[in-house]
Amino acid sequence: MHDDKRIDPETGTETTGHSWDGIEELNTPLPRWWLWTFYATIVWGVGYTILFPAWPMVSGATTGLLGYSTRAEVAADIARVEQSNAALTDSLTTIDLDALERNEELHRFAVQAGRSVFAANCSQCHGAGAAGVAISGYPNLLDDDWLWGGTLEDIAYTVRHGIRNEEDWDSRYSEMPAFDWMETGELAATADFVRSLSGLDHDAQAAARGADLFADNCSACHGESGLGDREVGAPNLADAIWLRGGTQEDIIQQMIAPRHGVMPPWGQRLGEAEVRAVSAYVHGLGGGENPVADPMSDPESENAADVPDASFPAGATQTPTETGEPPVQPAD
Amino acid sequence: MPTESPALFAARTPIFPRRVSGTFRRLKWAVLIVTLGIYYITPWLRWDRGPNLPDQAVLIDLANRRFYFLWIEIWPHEFYFVAGLLIMAGLGLFLFTSALGRVWCGYTCPQTVWTDLFLTVERWIEGDRNARIRLHDAGWSLRKWRLRLTKWTTWLLISVATGGAWVFYFADAPTLAQNLVTLNAAPVAYATIAILTATTFVFGGFMREQVCIYMCPWPRIQAAMMDPGTLTVGYRDWRGEPRGKGGVKQRHIAAESVGGGAVTAQYGSAVDKDTAAPRLSRNDEILGDCIDCNACVAVCPMGIDIRDGQQMECITCALCIDACDTVMAKIGRPRGLIDYLALDDQPPVRPGQSADVAAFAANPAGQVTGAQRPDWTPKPIWRHIFRPRTIFYTTAWAAIGVGLVVALFIRPQIDMTVAPVRNPTFVTLSDGTIRNTYDVRLRNKHGETRAFDLSVTSDSALSLTLEGDSDTVVDVPADSTWFQRVYVSAPPQAPAAARERSDMRIWVEDVVSGERAYDDTIFNGRESADVRTGNAG
């Protein structure tokens, strides 16, 4: 074959013998180990597809001789994390909630875990930022206004049993009767009085008439000054926060055809540890209340609304236990 | 036409570089000792930073996301320092390549340095070029086994030391060394050492020049960054050609028949040292300075012939310069037949090529500068180094360097970032107070816990409280970032409560030293009066 060898005169390089329109290809040989490396990658590739999951089949892929699976790896990771958190989870389940904040490590663990629980289970209604959805009546959890109490125990009870659901007999329950029998004028007068409670613009004369109507029809639940009653989940009407809107129309609408939000019970589904974790998270969002230890101001006093912690009767902080009586008898 | 394709793959032709001594070899020894010294010693330098911080002078703490360099500590959010250093490294490469060609490849590239080290070991154990060629060609005798195993073992020890030194940059060196020996170190440390040992052993011992030729992108990139004014290693073909050995007899004949003086004047270089006559070939051709002794080829670690001109394989290690200078000294010719030169400094024509020969003859200098052509003079070396291009690179490089140093010194001692929480922008409280929430990150770079007092200033009455804290003081542990949720509230009647947005400034003050820092942000109030009644609660 040596006779066939053609050397390019310009470069002194042998040609491959390929010629296109008289242009010949120079042969600059690659190193041979390069070729062996290439073969080695093929062997590696074949071995890999035998040992590891690789070939797509009709349902799923071949599992590979080593039985490796990323899902199993994730499951093992999760199991490992749960194992390492087991002690924390246990103490979270059993600790007295009033003492949780004093246990810094456990509290941090609970808040971080609760953040995830909230994102997965609560944010659908209450929003990712926990600000609620005003137009749909999902409460804002960031503020200091709580229909059923804002201590850690109160929040945990609400999460555990939910509100006005039929699955859990211990769920918090209240129902505002419809005042659709009232005259239009009476409705407007009552609404004017309600607006006057928190200093909103109102017709003073109408409000004066509304005061009597309120005392007769509303004060049983909402209290004489409209401060609400957490025992029965009656909203505070004297503050700046309106779940169903605070305009004259909104208030009348709520009186004629009251809307009631429903929250499912999470105790069974999440388990006690996660219920407590998410409660700790919500409690730390800026509106959480502490069990009242300081001297209570008179709940009926005029300036009670300025002191949110004190704006409800002391009895409301008595947290019902899970096995105890429901805090509120169904009002129907 | 051939009936069969020629081989498209070729086995490596082994290279047996000969020992050489001279200026550049000495320079390369110095660079080798300094670079290897820096590499091996750096992790063992200590630097006292106080009780809670590591005392290793240079430490890349990946687990805790810290980079320590002497008195400098870089946190992840200051990664721009690293980016700046990388840009400086890039510009430095531009600078050196445009001025001195592939000087990085020839002197400081780890592949070059370790190959050089491995070659030294090889020469020490198996002998110089000829002995190694003989050993290579010989069969596998006991002696060959002994020499080969000694060499490989030595290489392996160097490789282990190389891989071993690398991991010390990422953990406390004395502790890690102890753990490595007692088999208590992390698996990743052993894996890293194993991989680097393998690559060092294979690349330095067996792959050598093939790494540069087949695997490395720099030869291509650096070649593209050079221009005709760049100094690089080259062969002065106008002076050396035509090359040839030239016999004594011919020399004498030449001296008699041609008349030394005239020819010497004409060609400037090609003269015999004893007779001052030009060297002649057997065909009575007048020869150049190159005696074709192949010394430059024998010493080349890349296995090329520099006389073939510029080529991609050449790493400009300059060993051929040393080899040729030695030979030139022996035959009594000036040094620099192979030398650092710029291509645009070479004469545009060569002796014997054209009518320009006459121009050479007009100058009977007899020197080797090649400056015989009147309209052509070589530029001095410094004008190849100080050119607009290199000055621009130097300026840019220095500007970034100065910028980094300034940035380093004006780094605040208190580091705070404030991120307003936008979901929701504000919250209405029962009494109508408008509250905004901010995520504040406080960084304490000191080695002890510091207490920071947070406060707010604004043209409106705003008050600041901390989540989960009754006062406004935060204790930030040593060398860590503290995440703190901060509430800023405006009473219902305050202007800020009603305005859509108000400027405000969050201050942080070191309670002990009184140092202060601030971050400007925005307070969101009610967008309009009606929002108050529509707020959820």
Q: A242: exposed, middle or buried (C-beta count within 10 Å: 0-12, 13-18, 19+)?
A: buried
pLDDT band at B5 (very low <50, low <70, confident <90, very high): low
User: What is the pLDDT averaged over residues B208-233?
Assistant: 90
Residues of B in contact with A306 (CB under 8 A): 431
**Chain A: residue nearest B468 by CA?**
A284
The answer to whether A24 touches B23, Cβ cutoff 8 Å, is no
Q: Which residue of A has its CA nearest to B437?
A: A286
Comparing CA positions, the residue from B529, B521, B523 lying closest to residue B498 is B529
Give the tokens for residue B88.
């400086």
Q: Percent of chain B at pLDDT above 90?
A: 55
Is residue B460 scored above 90 in pLDDT? Answer: no
Minimal Cα–Cα distance from A261 to chain B, Å? 13
With beta carbons under 8 A apart, name residues in chain A contacting B492: 240
Closest of B335, B348, B325, B336 to residue B234, by C-alpha = B336
Instruction: State whether B6 and A5 contact (CB < 8 Å).
Output: yes
Instruction: Check if B1 contacts A (Cβ < 8 Å).
Output: yes
Query: pLDDT value at position A315?
Result: 39
pTM, entire model = 0.72
Kindly give, in sequence order, each residue whose CB lies less than 8 Å from that of residue A317, ignoring residues fewer than 6 positions away. A149, A151, A154, A291, A292
* DSSP per-residue letters across A292-324: P-SPPPPTTSGGGGG-GGGSS-GGGGSPPPSSS
* Residue, of B268 and A83, whose pLDDT is higher: A83
pLDDT confidence tier of residue B182, bands split at 50, 70 and 90: very high
Please tell me the predicted confidence (pLDDT) of residue B470: 82
pLDDT at A326: 40
Point out which residues pair with B73 in neighbouring strands: B68
Q: Do A30 and B467 touch (CB under 8 A)?
A: no
Give the whole-angstrom CA distance, residue B322 versus residue B25.
7
Query: Is residue A157 within 8 Å of residue A144, measured between CB atoms?
Result: no
- Stretch (H or E) spanning B439: strand B434-444
Chain A CB within 8 Å of residue B529 CB: no
**H runs (alpha helix) in chain A:** 32-51, 70-94, 97-100, 104-117, 123-126, 152-161, 184-197, 204-217, 219-222, 248-256, 267-270, 272-283
Kindly report the average pLDDT of chain B as a whole number: 84
**Residue ranges of B 10-49 with Cβ closer than 8 A to chain A:** 10-12
Give the best residue of A144, A146, A244, A281 to mutate against chain B (max B CB count within 10 A).
A144
Q: Residues 414-433, chain B: which have Cβ within 8 Å of A?
A: 421-424, 427-432
Question: How far is B435 from chain A, CA to nearest CA, in Å?
Answer: 9
Report the gap between the CA of A322 and the closest CA in chain B (Å).
26
Mutation test of the interface with chain B: which of A14, A142, A227, A289, choosing the one with the most B Cβ atoms within 10 A? A142
Q: Do A30 and B9 touch (CB under 8 A)?
A: yes
Chain A residues lying within 8 Å of B421, measured CB to CB:
129
The whole-number pLDDT of residue A181 equals 93
Q: Give me the residue from B1, B467, B537 closest to A140, CB to CB.
A: B537
Per-block mean pLDDT, blocks of 10 residues, chain A (332 long): 68 83 86 92 96 91 90 95 93 91 91 95 94 87 92 95 93 93 93 93 92 93 92 91 91 94 94 95 91 52 40 39 39 38
Above 90 in pLDDT, residue B105? yes
The alpha carbon of residue A2 and the mean position of all alpha carbons in its chain are separated, in whole angstroms, by 81
Kindly determine whether residue B536 and residue A133, on different chains, have CB atoms separated by under 8 Å. yes
Residues A284, B468: C-beta atoms closer than 8 Å: yes
| Contact criterion met (CB < 8 Å) for A127 and B423 | yes
CA distances from B131 to B115, B137, B152, B320 (A): 19, 10, 17, 20
User: Chain A residues with CB inside 8 Å of B422's CB?
Assistant: 129
Closest alpha carbon within chain A to B11: A32
CB contact under 8 A, A6 and B2: yes
- Is the pLDDT at B355 greater than 70? The verdict is no
Q: Which of B305, B431, B493 to mutate to test the interface with A (most CBs of A within 10 A)?
A: B431
**What is the per-residue pLDDT for B247?**
53
Alpha carbons B5 and A11: distance in angstroms, whole number? 19
pLDDT above 60 for B455:
yes
CB A214 within 8 A of CB A190: yes
How far is Cα B169 from Cα A303, in angstroms, rounded to an integer? Answer: 65
Among the partner-chain residues A101, A142, A247, the one whose CB lies closest to the CB of B427 is: A142
Residue range B288-331, pLDDT digits in tens: 888 899 999 999 999 999 998 888 899 999 999 999 999 999 88
Q: Which of residues 450-479 of B touch A (CB under 8 A)?
A: 467-468
Q: Amino acid identity, residue B249?
A: K
Residue contact A17–B2, C-beta within 8 A: yes
In the three-class reduction of DSSP (H, G, I as helix; E, B as strand; rest coil), residue B466 is classed as: strand
Measure the CA–CA gap between A188 and A285, rounded to whole angstroms.
36
pLDDT band for position B4 (50/70/90)?
low
CB–CB contact A243 B537 (8 Å) = yes
Q: Select from A248, A243, A254 the least CA-distant residue to A133.
A: A243
SS3 at position B101: coil
Q: What is the pLDDT of residues B21-64, one digit of tens each?
A: 999 999 999 999 999 999 999 999 999 887 778 899 999 998 88
User: Residue B129: pLDDT band by 50, 70, 90 thresholds?
Assistant: very high
pLDDT at residue B364 in the model: 39
Query: Which of B210, B427, B429 is the closest to A31 by Cβ?
Result: B210
Q: Is A4's CB within 8 Å of B421's CB?
A: no
Report which of B465, B461, B521, B532 is spatially closest to residue B494, judged by C-alpha positions: B461
At a CB cut-off of 8 Å and minimum separation 6, what does A78 contact? none
**Quick one: closest CA in B to A30, which residue?**
B9
Mean pLDDT of B245-251: 53
Least CB–CB distance from A286: residue in B4, B9, B427 = B427
Test A5 with B432 for CB contact under 8 angstroms. no
Q: Nearest-CA distance from B436 to chain A in Å?
A: 10
At B238, the pLDDT band (50, 70, 90 cuts) reads: confident
Beta-carbon separation of B431 and A17 below 8 A: no
* Separation between Cα atoms, residue B346 and residue B371, nearest integer Å: 9
A-B contacts (CB, under 8 Å): 141
Residue B394 is predicted with a pLDDT of 95
Asked if residue B96 has pLDDT above 90, the reply is yes
The partner residue sitting opposite A131, judged by closest CB among B424, B429, B534, is B424
Of B214, B421, B468, the CB nearest to A31: B214
Short-list B299, B363, B434, B381, CA closest to B22: B299
Tell me which residue in B6, B427, B431 faces A17 most closely, judged by beta carbons.
Answer: B6
Label residue B375 by pLDDT band (50, 70, 90).
low
The predicted structure's pLDDT at residue A296:
46
Structure token digits, residue B378: 């070589």
Mutate which of B429, B466, B530 to disrupt the A interface (most A C-beta within 10 Å)?
B429
Residue B224 in tokens:
């593209």
Select from B7, B214, B430 the Cβ nearest to the Cβ of A241.
Answer: B430
Residue B1: list chain A partners with CB under 8 A: 4, 17, 19
What pLDDT shows up at residue B404?
92
Q: Which residue of B has its CA nearest to A12?
A: B308
Residues in chain B closer than 8 A to A33 (CB atoms): 12, 210
What digits encode the pLDDT tens for the residues B64-95? Answer: 888 998 888 888 888 888 899 999 999 999 99
Which tokens sit at B274?
């004893």
Establish how many alpha carbons lie within 13 A of residue B243's alpha carbon, considering only the half-sphere containing its beta carbon. 12
DSSP B457: E
Which one, of B333, B526, B494, lies nearest residue B427 by Cα? B526
C-beta atoms of B214 and A34 within 8 A: yes
Which of B2, B10, B429 is closest, CB to CB, to A143? B429
Q: Is the pLDDT of residue B128 over 50?
A: yes
pLDDT of residue A309: 41
- Residue B340's closest CA among B384, B371, B302? B384
Q: Which comes out higher in pLDDT, residue B333 or B528?
A: B333
Distance CA A3, CA B434 (A): 96
CB contact under 8 A, B12 and A127: no
CB contact under 8 A, B3 and A29: no
- B131 compared with B346, residue with greater pLDDT: B131
